[in-house]
Amino acid sequence: MAQALTNVLLMDAVAGCLHSQRSIGSASKLAYFDKIKHEVSMMVPETTSQTLKHKINPSQDLAEPQTVHVLLYTPGQLSSSNTEGEGNPKLWVALSGGRVVVFDAASWSMLQDCIQVGNAQLHSSALVLLYSASSCEGTTLLWDSFSLKVKRQLQLTCDRLSSIQIHNGMLWCCCGDSIVEVRRNGALQRRISIPDDLLSMPSRFNSFVLIMEIWVGCRSDGALGGLCSGQLRSQVLVVDPGSLAVQKELQAHSDTIHTLCSAEDCYVLSGSGHHDGKIAIWKV
C-alpha cells in the first residue's frame, strides 16, 4: 500500500512538471497494473513464434495505446550512400483521431512524432487495375480509371463488406462471415468460410491481404466488446488459395485486427485495436 501511494505521488509529480505526451506515458508506467497490462508478453504457440519477426508500438509517445486503422507500406531502396535512410522503405500508420506515424521499414524505428491529419478516422483505398469502391451493405462500384465513370455495379450478399482487393484480374472481398472471389461480371467464383473450430462462438473476418497465400484477420465476438471468457480471441489465419485449407493460425494480438498489408511479398503486417495497439510483422 505504501509503495502504491508513493507511485501515485511520483506520477502526479512527473505529469505535473512536464506537460508532454512522452512524460505522461512515462508516468503511467509507474502504475503497477497498467504496466502489467501493457508490457507482459503474451504466451504464444510455436507456430506463432516461428512466424512472428517483430512487434512495434506506434503509440509509444502517446499516453494510451491507439487503434491501428490503416497500414501502408511504401517501397524504397537500401544503399550504402543512403546514410540518413531517406530512401529506405517506410511504413505509414494511421491511428485513432487522425494521427499518422511513419516508421523506417529497414530498422523499424519511428522517424518522427505523430502527424495530425484532421480529427477524423482515416481509411485506405489503394486499389490496382480498376478503381473500386465498396459499402458495408455489399455494394461494389467498378470505375473506369480514365473517365472516372462507373462501369459496373455489383451487389454482394454478405454479412458486412469491409475491404476489397484485386488479384489476377479477380475481385476479392472481405464479407465478415467469409472471403469471396468474384468475376468481373459479378458471378461468384468461390467462397472461403470461417473455419469450423471458430463457429462455436460468433466470429468474423475483419481484413485480409492476398499474396502467395491468403492472410485473414479473424476475431471472435463475445458479449463485452469481443471478450470471450475474459479473453479476446483474435487471430491471423493463413489460407492456401488452392485447397482453401487453413495452414497456420497465428496469435499475437489481444484486440481486433483492423488492418493487414504486405511488404514486398516478404512480410505481412497486422494492426490491432486500442486494447492492444501493436503492429505485428510476420514472415511470409
Phi, psi for 28 (deg, rounded to 5): -65, -25
Query: Per-domain residue ranges for the chain?
Result: 1-40, 131-283
Q: Which amino acid does the sequence have at 187?
A: A
Alpha carbon distance 128, 64 (integer Å): 35
3-state secondary structure of 33: helix
Alpha carbon distance 272, 68 (integer Å): 5
- The CATH architecture assigned to 131-283 reads 7 Propeller (2.130)
Q: What is the pTM of this model?
A: 0.70
Q: Which amino acid does the sequence have at 206?
A: N
Strands (E) in 188-278, as ranges, are 188-193, 203-210, 214-220, 234-239, 246-250, 257-263, 267-272
Alpha carbon distance 113, 122 (integer Å): 17
142 within 8 A of 154, measured Cβ to Cβ: yes
Q: In terms of C-beta density within 10 A (0-12 exposed, 13-18 middle, 19 or more buried), how is residue 31 classed? A: middle
Q: Per residue in 222-253, is it b (16+ CB within 10 Å) or e — as a string?
A: beeebebeeebbbbbbbbebeeeebebbbbbb
Q: Got the DSSP string for 167-201?
A: ETTEEEEE-SSEEEEE-TTS-EEEEEEPPGGGTTS
User: What is residue 130's predicted lDDT score, i.e. its pLDDT?
Assistant: 39
Strands (E) in 105-177, as ranges, are 109-110, 115-116, 131-134, 139-143, 150-155, 163-167, 170-174
Phi, psi for 88 (deg, rounded to 5): -70, 155
210 within 8 A of 167, measured Cβ to Cβ: yes
Chain centroid to CA 242: how far? 25
Cell representation of residue 98: 487522425
Counting as low any pLDDT under 50, the low residues of the chain are: 32-33, 35-41, 125-131, 222-231
User: What is residue 39's predicted lDDT score, i.e. its pLDDT?
Assistant: 45
Question: Around Cβ 147, how many Cβ atoms within 10 Å?
Answer: 8
User: What is residue 81's predicted lDDT score, i.e. its pLDDT?
Assistant: 55
Choose among 67, 121, 115, 62: nearest CA to 97. 121
> Cell 468460410 appears where?
193
Region label for 176, one of left (φ > 0), alpha (ψ between -120 and 50) or beta (otherwise): left
